[in-house]
Amino acid sequence: MDLILWRHAEAEDGEDDLARALTGKGEVQAARMAAWLHRHVPKPWTVVASPARRTQQTAAALGVPFITSIACQPGASARAVLDAAGWPEGQGTRIVVGHQPSLGLASALALTGVAAPWALRKGAVVWLRARDRAEVAPVQLRASLSPDLVGD
Protein backbone atom coordinates (compact mmCIF):
# COMPACT_ATOMS: atom_id res chain seq x y z
CA MET A 1 0.00 0.00 0.00
CA ASP A 2 1.12 3.53 -0.82
CA LEU A 3 0.10 6.28 1.58
CA ILE A 4 0.35 9.97 0.76
CA LEU A 5 -0.13 12.33 3.69
CA TRP A 6 -0.78 15.80 2.21
CA ARG A 7 -0.97 18.90 4.38
CA HIS A 8 -3.43 21.48 3.11
CA ALA A 9 -1.94 24.40 1.24
CA GLU A 10 -1.64 27.93 2.63
CA ALA A 11 -4.94 29.26 3.98
CA GLU A 12 -6.24 32.64 5.03
CA ASP A 13 -6.57 33.55 8.69
CA GLY A 14 -10.01 33.47 10.25
CA GLU A 15 -12.10 32.96 13.34
CA ASP A 16 -13.98 29.91 12.03
CA ASP A 17 -11.19 27.35 11.56
CA LEU A 18 -13.26 24.97 9.41
CA ALA A 19 -14.31 27.80 7.04
CA ARG A 20 -10.82 29.13 6.24
CA ALA A 21 -10.18 29.14 2.47
CA LEU A 22 -6.94 28.80 0.53
CA THR A 23 -5.08 31.97 -0.35
CA GLY A 24 -3.98 32.64 -3.93
CA LYS A 25 -0.57 31.23 -2.98
CA GLY A 26 -2.30 28.19 -1.48
CA GLU A 27 -4.19 27.55 -4.71
CA VAL A 28 -0.87 27.57 -6.60
CA GLN A 29 0.71 25.24 -4.02
CA ALA A 30 -2.20 22.80 -4.28
CA ALA A 31 -2.12 22.83 -8.09
CA ARG A 32 1.65 22.23 -8.20
CA MET A 33 1.50 19.33 -5.79
CA ALA A 34 -1.55 17.84 -7.51
CA ALA A 35 0.30 17.89 -10.83
CA TRP A 36 3.31 16.20 -9.21
CA LEU A 37 1.11 13.54 -7.64
CA HIS A 38 -0.53 12.83 -11.01
CA ARG A 39 2.91 12.37 -12.61
CA HIS A 40 4.52 10.22 -9.92
CA VAL A 41 2.08 8.38 -7.66
CA PRO A 42 0.54 5.05 -8.74
CA LYS A 43 -3.18 4.97 -9.48
CA PRO A 44 -5.95 4.18 -8.75
CA TRP A 45 -6.25 6.46 -5.74
CA THR A 46 -8.60 6.66 -2.83
CA VAL A 47 -8.55 10.24 -1.56
CA VAL A 48 -9.74 11.14 1.94
CA ALA A 49 -9.95 14.76 3.13
CA SER A 50 -10.78 16.59 6.32
CA PRO A 51 -14.08 18.49 6.28
CA ALA A 52 -12.23 21.82 6.64
CA ARG A 53 -12.68 24.07 3.61
CA ARG A 54 -8.93 24.46 3.00
CA THR A 55 -8.41 20.69 2.85
CA GLN A 56 -11.43 20.26 0.59
CA GLN A 57 -9.96 22.87 -1.77
CA THR A 58 -6.52 21.24 -1.65
CA ALA A 59 -8.00 17.80 -2.44
CA ALA A 60 -10.14 19.28 -5.24
CA ALA A 61 -6.93 20.33 -7.02
CA LEU A 62 -6.47 16.63 -7.89
CA GLY A 63 -9.61 16.73 -10.02
CA VAL A 64 -10.81 13.35 -8.75
CA PRO A 65 -13.64 12.37 -6.38
CA PHE A 66 -12.73 12.23 -2.70
CA ILE A 67 -14.23 11.14 0.59
CA THR A 68 -14.73 13.59 3.46
CA SER A 69 -13.84 12.14 6.87
CA ILE A 70 -14.03 13.74 10.30
CA ALA A 71 -11.27 11.32 11.30
CA CYS A 72 -8.89 13.72 9.51
CA GLN A 73 -10.25 17.00 10.91
CA PRO A 74 -8.09 19.49 12.82
CA GLY A 75 -6.85 17.96 16.07
CA ALA A 76 -7.24 14.36 14.85
CA SER A 77 -4.98 11.77 16.43
CA ALA A 78 -2.22 10.14 14.42
CA ARG A 79 -3.94 6.77 14.81
CA ALA A 80 -7.27 8.18 13.54
CA VAL A 81 -5.55 9.52 10.40
CA LEU A 82 -3.86 6.18 9.70
CA ASP A 83 -7.09 4.28 10.37
CA ALA A 84 -8.99 6.56 7.96
CA ALA A 85 -6.41 5.62 5.33
CA GLY A 86 -6.60 1.90 6.09
CA TRP A 87 -2.86 1.90 6.86
CA PRO A 88 -1.01 -0.40 6.51
CA GLU A 89 -3.35 -3.23 5.50
CA GLY A 90 -5.15 -1.39 2.67
CA GLN A 91 -4.53 -1.90 -1.01
CA GLY A 92 -3.56 0.56 -3.72
CA THR A 93 -2.82 4.20 -3.05
CA ARG A 94 -4.48 6.29 -0.36
CA ILE A 95 -4.10 10.06 -0.24
CA VAL A 96 -5.08 11.77 3.01
CA VAL A 97 -5.43 15.56 2.96
CA GLY A 98 -5.28 16.94 6.46
CA HIS A 99 -3.64 19.15 9.05
CA GLN A 100 -0.64 19.66 11.27
CA PRO A 101 0.29 18.36 13.75
CA SER A 102 -1.84 15.29 12.96
CA LEU A 103 -0.11 14.45 9.67
CA GLY A 104 3.39 14.85 11.10
CA LEU A 105 2.49 12.62 14.03
CA ALA A 106 0.91 10.06 11.67
CA SER A 107 4.05 10.08 9.48
CA ALA A 108 6.26 9.36 12.46
CA LEU A 109 3.89 6.70 13.80
CA ALA A 110 3.79 4.89 10.44
CA LEU A 111 7.57 5.02 10.03
CA THR A 112 8.76 4.33 13.57
CA GLY A 113 5.81 3.12 15.61
CA VAL A 114 5.95 6.27 17.78
CA ALA A 115 3.74 9.34 17.18
CA ALA A 116 6.54 11.90 17.57
CA PRO A 117 6.35 15.51 16.35
CA TRP A 118 7.37 15.94 12.72
CA ALA A 119 6.83 19.22 10.87
CA LEU A 120 5.24 19.32 7.42
CA ARG A 121 5.17 22.59 5.53
CA LYS A 122 1.91 23.87 4.09
CA GLY A 123 1.09 21.98 0.91
CA ALA A 124 3.78 19.33 1.55
CA VAL A 125 3.43 15.57 1.13
CA VAL A 126 4.96 12.51 2.73
CA TRP A 127 4.81 9.34 0.62
CA LEU A 128 5.10 6.05 2.51
CA ARG A 129 4.95 2.49 1.23
CA ALA A 130 4.07 -0.56 3.30
CA ARG A 131 6.53 -3.22 2.19
CA ASP A 132 5.96 -6.92 1.73
CA ARG A 133 9.48 -7.59 2.97
CA ALA A 134 8.95 -6.75 6.63
CA GLU A 135 12.21 -8.45 7.58
CA VAL A 136 14.11 -5.59 5.90
CA ALA A 137 11.87 -2.71 7.02
CA PRO A 138 8.09 -2.68 7.08
CA VAL A 139 7.79 0.91 5.79
CA GLN A 140 9.68 2.72 3.07
CA LEU A 141 9.85 6.52 2.86
CA ARG A 142 9.40 7.17 -0.88
CA ALA A 143 9.35 10.99 -0.77
CA SER A 144 8.85 14.00 1.45
CA LEU A 145 8.62 17.32 -0.32
CA SER A 146 7.02 20.72 -0.29
CA PRO A 147 5.30 22.47 -3.18
CA ASP A 148 8.19 24.85 -3.81
CA LEU A 149 10.33 21.84 -4.80
CA VAL A 150 8.00 20.39 -7.43
CA GLY A 151 8.16 23.22 -9.99
CA ASP A 152 5.40 24.42 -12.25
**At residue 152, does pLDDT exceed 90?**
no
pLDDT confidence of 74, banded at 50, 70, 90?
very high
CATH number, domain with residue 139: 3.40.50.1240
Domains held by the chain: number: 1
Whether residue 117 has a cis bond before it, omega within 30° of 0: no
The SS3 of residue 54 is helix
Strands (E), 43-92: 45-49, 67-68
Residue 103: domain span? 2-149
What is the per-residue pLDDT across 114-128, written as a single tens digit (0 to 9) for each?
A: 999 999 999 999 999
pLDDT at position 29 is: 97
pLDDT at position 135 is: 63
What is the per-residue pLDDT across 22-52, written as a single tens digit (0 to 9) for each?
A: 999 999 999 999 999 999 999 999 999 999 9
What is the per-residue pLDDT across 126-138, written as a single tens digit (0 to 9) for each?
A: 999 998 766 667 8
